[in-house]
């Protein structure tokens, strides 16, 4: 089975300016993901999808191909990621004249993942009859217990209400939070436009990662926190 690994990284960033190529503990943020992808060595083809020449230059420096530049229409603030990965798959199949059965996407904004994580995900994905696998962590907040919603009348209600009230955290249903790190897709599923919201499939599973991997760089504080973890060797990446 042929595998395509994508690293999708547009040039613009509102929360942290140029975060994807900003120096993080000695090298650009994107470099951590590119290096992990190459070190893993299981993907037949690794590409970076970007609309930015600066990002493309960094990717090439770390030995990852830029077979095409992403169209501006797929590089807006409002564009979801699935159409971007789908475009990368379609273009890559044309350019490399190859049908890719499995598509792996690694998110740049969370570099905390290991080769072992990727191996585990691949093993699960190959053994299970599923469309989509995503990494996740145990959620710190629980909609059955301590997450609230404000109703139209301004009053507050618990986000997910059961017939019996949940009084102890241990009694609440277990919930998980996607940690924006690792994604595996079947080709047929990704090419179907219904996959724009992949959790609509009933053939989805999660790969549970350590809680400390739940870092997604959206703010300056996030960036500085991950830099602290790396510099103090509190995480392995």
Tell me what pLDDT residue 165 has.
Answer: 82
Integer angstrom CA distances of residue 61 from 28, 48, 57, 221? 11, 12, 6, 28
pTM of the model: 0.92
Q: Express each pLDDT in 171-196 by its tens digit.
A: 899 999 999 999 999 999 999 987 78
Is 80 exceeded by the pLDDT of residue 41? yes
Top pLDDT among 126 and 171 is at 126
Distance separating alpha carbons of residues 34 and 1, to the nearest angstrom: 22
- Mean pLDDT is lowest, of 10-19, 129-138, 187-196, for 10-19
Q: Domains of the chain, with CATH numbers? A: 3-138+175-231 (3.90.550.10), 140-174 (no CATH)
**Residues 44-63: tens digit of each pLDDT:** 999 999 999 999 999 999 99
Average pLDDT over residues 108-123: 96
Per-residue confidence band for 13, with pLDDT thresholds at 50, 70 and 90: confident
Q: Which helix or strand (DSSP H or E) is residue 185 part of?
A: strand 176-186
Select the more confidently predicted residue: 22 or 171.
22
Across 194-206, average pLDDT = 85
- For residue 92, how many C-alpha atoms fall within 13 Å in the half-sphere facing its CB? 26
37 vs 43: CA distance, rounded Å: 8
CA 118 to chain centre: 12
Give me the residues paired with residue 138 across strands. Answer: 176
Which comes out higher in pLDDT, residue 218 or 93? 93
CA distances to 33, 35, 84, 111 from 51, rounded to whole Å, are: 18, 20, 11, 21
Place of tokens 């986000």: 159
- Distance, in Å, from the CA atom of 34 to the CA atom of 49, rounded to the nearest integer, reads 12
């Amino acid at each position: 089975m042929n595998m395509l690994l994508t690293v999708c990284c547009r040039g613009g960033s509102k929360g942290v300016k140029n975060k994807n190529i900003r120096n993080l503990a000695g090298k650009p943020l994107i470099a951590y993901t590119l290096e992990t992808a190459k070190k893993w060595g299981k993907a037949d083809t690794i590409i970076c999808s970007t609309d930015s020449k600066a990002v493309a230059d960094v990717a090439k420096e770390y030995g990852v191909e830029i077979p095409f530049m992403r169209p501006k229409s797929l590089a807006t603030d409002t564009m979801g990621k699935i159409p971007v990965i789908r475009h990368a798959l379609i273009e890559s199949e044309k350019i490399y004249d190859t049908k890719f059965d499995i598509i792996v996407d690694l998110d740049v904004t969370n570099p905390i993942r290991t080769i072992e994580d990727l191996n585990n995900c691949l093993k699960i994905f190959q053994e299970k009859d599923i469309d989509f696998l995503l990494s996740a962590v145990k959620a710190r907040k629980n909609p059955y217990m301590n997450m609230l919603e404000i109703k139209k009348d301004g009053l507050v209600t618990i986000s997910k209400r059961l017939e019996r009230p949940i009084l102890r955290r241990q009694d609440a249903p277990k919930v998980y939070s996607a940690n924006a790190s690792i994604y595996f897709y079947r080709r047929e599923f990704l090419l179907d436009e219904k996959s724009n919201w992949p959790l609509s499939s009933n053939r989805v599973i999660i790969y549970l990662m350590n809680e400390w991997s739940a870092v997604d760089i959206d703010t300056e504080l996030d960036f500085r926190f991950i830099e602290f973890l790396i510099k103090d060797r509190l995480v392995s990446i």
